[in-house]
Amino acid sequence: MQAVLVLEDGTILRGEGFGAEAEVYGEAVFNTSMSGYQEALTDPSYKGQILTLTYPLIGNYGINTEDFESEKIQVEGFVVRENCQAPSHQASEKTIDRFLSEQGIPGISGVDTRSLTISLRAHGTMKALLKTSSEKIDTDGLVESVRQSPHITEMDLVHQVTAKEPKKHDVGGKTHVAILDCGMKLGIQNSLLQRKVNVTVVPASISAKDILALEADGMLVTNGPGDPTRADYVIKTIASLKEELPIFGICFGNQLTSLALGAETYKLKFGHRGSNQPVKDLATGRVYITSQNHGFAVDAESLEDTGLEVSHINLNDQTVEGVKHKELPIATVQYHPEANPGPKDSAYLFDEFIKVMEEWKK
């Protein structure tokens, strides 16, 4: 297949198509991780986005069913330098080409992803179109079509990735957590289940009253896609529960919780997406190498009069990577403690949340 990637600035990149024959729109973003492509493809936080991977060799260890972060591919389209058609790994079940094809997702290979990434860093993320076809692709009018497509800040993407109904996972634990699912990565749920914590995953549209009816010991607000201000119904729910039970927010959950307490958020130029983001814990001075995937951040100057204070910062650009409440049992981080980018040194955050819930129960 032929393929083209069209950006709103007029850039048109041609390459070889793989996956499904389709035409999709989305926000063009890049991820700097050297591995974990199937986790990225199935991460609900990428809903509404066309994902570019900066590492050139993609698909070389194939696809297996054990490392998904959700039940299906969530990206709108996929951009790589080299698409490996002959993966080599004992757990591999299929090629990345077949994986995308089965789920109707188009991909483009043969693209200079380094040049594309440099452009996105210089100019910021852009609206884009990815089209694959078995016939010659006419690009006339495609740039204008991209420019007329909706911006990611104009859409509520949470309702497309949240759970459809509550689902409880009982592992016989003494602690029970309600997970407010805004596009949850399965690694978050599994991190709690592995610690013998009972979990009830609930839709993002659930009311505060229904969450309290679960008699949970705490609430975890998950990651998710898009502009957090578009999920105003989630913000209202969190605001109603801020004094009712302990709250822990991850990534999108950090932004939503901060908004619920009166802070503000803003869109980053090209976001943080990768497994090598340095984050400093201001309480201890320790620096962690973290995995991240987000395009928005909390405005540190807006925290005044919210009861929140900055707990973590990004050492690359000094942006907020976590907040904590001065009095209430509320804490959040902008990065993913469950993602384990090599070491597991951020996993302790789940243990701290469990400890807070146990103390709150007493």
Q: What angle do CA 357, 359, 362 make, to 5 degrees?
A: 110
Residue showing tokens 């997406």: 273
Which candidate in 8, 39, 69, 251 is catalytic? 251
- Residues in contact with 137: Cβ distance below 8 Å, sequence separation at least 6, in sequence order: 2, 3, 4, 14, 131
Which among 255, 247, 249 has a CA at the least distance from the CA of 230?
A: 255
* SS3 readout for 69-84: CCCCCCCCEEECCEEC
| β-strand partners of 78 | 51, 107
Produce one character per residue of 153-172: b if its CB has 16 or more CB atoms within 10 Å, e if not.
eebbbbeebbbeebeebeee
Q: How many CA atoms lie within 13 A of 262 on its CB side?
A: 10
Q: In 3-state terms, what secondary structure has residue 326?
A: coil
Produce one character per residue of 48-70: b if its CB has 16 or more CB atoms within 10 Å, e if not.
bbbbbbbbeebbbbbbeeeebbb
| Residue 338 designated active-site | yes
Q: DSSP assignment, residue 230?
A: G
- Residues in contact with 74: Cβ distance below 8 Å, sequence separation at least 6, in sequence order: 41, 42, 43, 44, 45, 46, 47, 161, 183, 225
| Residue 294 designated active-site | no
Which candidate in 27, 39, 76, 338 is catalytic? 338
| Residue 251 designated active-site | yes
Residues annotated as part of the active site: 251, 336, 338
